[in-house]
Structure 1
Amino acid sequence: MSSKYLPVENPTKSFWLTAEEEEFSTYRSSPELPSEADTIVIGSGYAGTTFTYFLLKEQGINPSSVLMLEARNVCSGATARNGGHLKPDLYYAHEKFSAKYGAKGAAEIINFEHAHLEAMKELIEKEEIECDFVLTRACDVHLHPKSVNAAISNYKSMIKNPYVTCKKDVQIKFGEEAKIISKVEGSPVCLTYTAGHLWPYKLMVAILKKNIEKGMQLQTNTPVLSTAKLADGRYLVKTNRGEIICKNLVIATNAYTASVEPKFEGKIVPIKGICSHITSSDPNLKTPHLTNTYGIRYGGADGDYLINRPDGSVIVGGAKRHIFPFKQLFYGVVDDSTLIPNTKEYFNNYMNDRFYTWKGFPEVADYVWSGILGWFSWSWYASCFALC
């Protein structure tokens, strides 16, 4: 048991959780835990929820034998704290992937990420889910010479890869064209490609409700304290409310995995990230809505990501230049109840400072929150500083 990796009880308020449904957020299928289940899925975020959605479509599955356990409220972890950004990496990591997996392996990763967008659109439309889903284009802006050179080099090598099937979707622009397309005056180059954005909490809640209608069991505010494989091949799952035995165990706990399986400590490392919601400070004024989503690279691993919501507001995450100096506050921690020093102030006047169409427009960051995501070891994370 690694209790230090369990989620904290008083997380910061994410903008996405303003849609939280009070009654459903603490949903329990039954007052008491069942003693047995065929399949236990730990985690009600993106991975756990979508896994159960497709599992319940399999023939021979008894929905009532599938039990989902959530440590806090429904979908209150990383899925409800990210940027709502559906953005594949179609080029920037190509050379790194090629060196490690070869051209075919790199292409498999890129093609998979690109295909995810179509699959997401198909799911949302098939299930008629209202989650503010918008299909658009991402615009990657590179503002540091090393980042610019890395972007161009990776783009060229990706285009030459015969196994990449989505290369025609990526376009590169330079000079004045890059500035006009991106709306960032300091951008010498930009690359655009298909991307999307949505309200992640609404999507997951809609899918969870469909799963429950089919018979799946859900128990919130039931943290798993430990798991053990028994001699007969089944699993013993210990929670704060009792023990359950199951045949199949699915761990979809992202950064909190070491709290369930201590052997992942030091391998899947919890990292604190920062995100914000920016809107007009004058309710009578509509924001200068930008069509694209964004990835903004400054230098090293310093960068931000951004989506423009259908209501005109903006979600911005990153603030890495203020996060990096505080390793002890963001690396290896699961406390999303606090922010990292200077990160809240980082989003003040953010859009005015970067996009010329926002110049002089009154803006306010009315929500700033933290979230915990799973990462690799510090040695790997630190190496990112030299990548771009």
Structure 2
Amino acid sequence: MSSKFLPVDNPTKSFWHSRADQFAKHRTTPTLPAHADVVIIGSGYAGTTTAYYLMKGSSTPLNVTMLEARDVCSGATGRNGGHLKPDLYYNTLSFTDKYGEKGCADIANFEYAHIAAMKELIEAEQIDCDFVLTRAVDVHLSPEANERCLRNYQAMMKNPYITCKSDLQLLTGEQAKVTSKSEDTEVAVSYTAGQMWPYKLITTILKRLIDKYGLNLQTNTPALSVSKLSDGKWEIVTPRGSIVTSKVVLATNAYTASVDSRFIDKIVPIKGICCHITASNKSERTPHLSNTYGIRNDHLADGDYLINRPDGSVVVGGAKKHIFPFKERFYNNVDDSSLIDGTSDYFTDDYMQKRFYTWKNFESKPDYIWSGILGYTDDSLPYVGEIEPGKYIIAGFHGHGMPRVLLCAKALALALETGAEVEGIPDSFKATPKRLASTQNTILKALGTPTAKL
């Protein structure tokens, strides 16, 4: 176990935490319980939805304790872009090469299914989290990005197993410019997506679990080690004491190596940047965009993602040209207490005016800029399943958790309840012995990080 991979104490404040209340530091009981049926480490999207499906679906009451190293939902979920945007085509060729047409389709179909699943969850639980169903538009701003888009889009359309092809629309030329409001794009792709206030989603679910099902939430209680006892149970050591459980779930994403050293170089903490842009004059109505966006500057990793809030403000993340060419700025970095050189200016320097012609003569500025830690994996896909008897993982969502976590959590909860293997997720997501034994790490290659900077 390594404290090197634990969250830092003083993270930058994200826009999503701007309305946090005392629940952020909630401890259901003043002391840490000595025992639990299940211990979930992590109070973000993965940990919370696993607890939701487990406790709601259990035929008998379960004693579940959730440990959070910092405040509630203070990791990637509380620091992301609020963008429920599946990747339906852009990695078709690489996924087909690795997993075949069927395996590639399983990933795309699984991500697309999250749109309906999230809507169903939010409506069933009546969660007020600014959820909006909309269209995502991917704009491509270079010849290389255009070429990759077209090759992958065409490959997706030829894949007989992908079931959501009718939802996508390829836009070119003037149609791409007008639909996206981006003068610089020649090729765009539109499809269904969603957006929300992720912190409100998670905290609402947690409060329901505490009140209705007896979840014991313990914030500011980092797991320092997870060890197997002689009777087969697991002991989790924290600064506030230890807790013993029959089943433990690592919903630790970028911080997984802090409690399981096998994931060093398999789930790597990657530092990213996000911001909230609003009108300089608060009384003005912004030129609201009707779409969410993927903004691809090249064919590799240089891109941004953007959602439009109901009040007309914008949440945008990326600034990757200031990050990914410099390994020391982002790789194996858990420090979200500071920004990254160049990123603040990137978002402050007329970001919206330069990219969308409807914003051209409108004054705006970021009022929040924050960093966050993403859990990138060695093969770009999450690890989900039982990795030892009684020890489970749902982590490593590679900066793309919003359209992957929910149904992974539902499948994992069923496995926890029944003791069976995890089913209902792509085979490529499963934490198999073969994947765990692999020593290949393709993160830097995929990001196009220059060797000279390593």
TM-score when normalising by structure 1? 0.97
The equivalent residue for 1:188 is: 186
The equivalent residue for 2:321 is: 321
The equivalent residue for 1:107 is: 105
SS in 2 for 1:325: coil
Q: Distance in 1 between matches of 2:56 and 2:6?
A: 31
The equivalent residue for 1:355 is: 356
The equivalent residue for 1:346 is: 346
Distance 1:306 1:170, change over 3 A: same
The alpha-carbon deviation at position 384 of structure 1 amounts to: 2.1
Per-residue CA distance 1:253-310 (angstroms, 9 max, x = gap): 1001111112211111000000000010001111100010000111131000000010
The AA in structure 2 aligned to 1:160 is K
| Alignment check: 8 A CA contact 1:55 1:61 kept | no
Equivalent pairs counted in the alignment come to: 385
The equivalent residue for 1:126 is: 124
Distance 1:9 1:174, change over 3 A: same
The equivalent residue for 1:35 is: 34
The equivalent residue for 1:230 is: 229
The AA in structure 2 aligned to 1:109 is I
SS in 1 for 2:171: strand
The equivalent residue for 2:388 is: none
The equivalent residue for 2:365 is: 364
The equivalent residue for 1:382 is: 444
Q: Distance in 2 between matches of 1:66 and 1:297?
A: 42
The AA in structure 2 aligned to 1:362 is E
Q: Distance in 2 between matches of 1:57 and 1:284?
A: 44
Q: What are structure 1's unaligned runs of at least 5 residues?
A: none
The equivalent residue for 1:284 is: 283
Q: Indicate the larger mover: 80-89 or 324-333.
A: 324-333
Per-residue CA distance 1:105-162 (angstroms, 9 max, x = gap): 1111000000001000000011000000000000000111111111111111111111
The equivalent residue for 2:269 is: 270
Distance 1:295 1:144, change over 3 A: same
Q: Percent identity?
A: 59
Distance 1:108 1:285, change over 3 A: same
Per-residue CA distance 1:310-365 (angstroms, 9 max, x = gap): 01000000000001233112110100000010101100110001000000101011
Q: Indicate the larger mover: 52-61 or 161-170.
A: 52-61
Q: Distance in 1 between matches of 2:96 and 2:233?
A: 40
The equivalent residue for 1:248 is: 247
The AA in structure 2 aligned to 1:267 is K
The equivalent residue for 1:67 is: 65
The alpha-carbon deviation at position 382 of structure 1 amounts to: 2.2
The AA in structure 1 aligned to 2:165 is K
Q: Distance in 2 between matches of 1:156 and 1:376?
A: 27
Q: Distance in 1 between matches of 2:248 and 2:257?
A: 15
Q: Distance in 2 between matches of 1:226 and 1:263?
A: 13
Q: Distance in 1 between matches of 2:171 and 2:258?
A: 46
The alpha-carbon deviation at position 221 of structure 1 amounts to: 0.4
The equivalent residue for 1:301 is: 301
Distance 1:386 1:238, change over 3 A: closer
| Alignment check: 8 A CA contact 2:324 2:447 kept | no
Per-residue CA distance 1:20-71 (angstroms, 9 max, x = gap): 11x21111111111111110000000000000000012233424x1000000
Counterpart of 1:202 (choices 200, 203, 215) is: 200
Q: What are structure 2's unaligned runs of at least 5 residues?
A: 379-439, 450-454
Q: Distance in 1 between matches of 2:94 and 2:47?
A: 29
Moved over 6 A (4+): none
The equivalent residue for 2:148 is: 150
Output the aligned Cα RMSD: 1.2
Distance 1:180 1:373, change over 3 A: same
Per-residue CA distance 1:2-27 (angstroms, 9 max, x = gap): 00111111000100001211x21111
The alpha-carbon deviation at position 379 of structure 1 amounts to: 4.9
SS in 2 for 1:248: strand
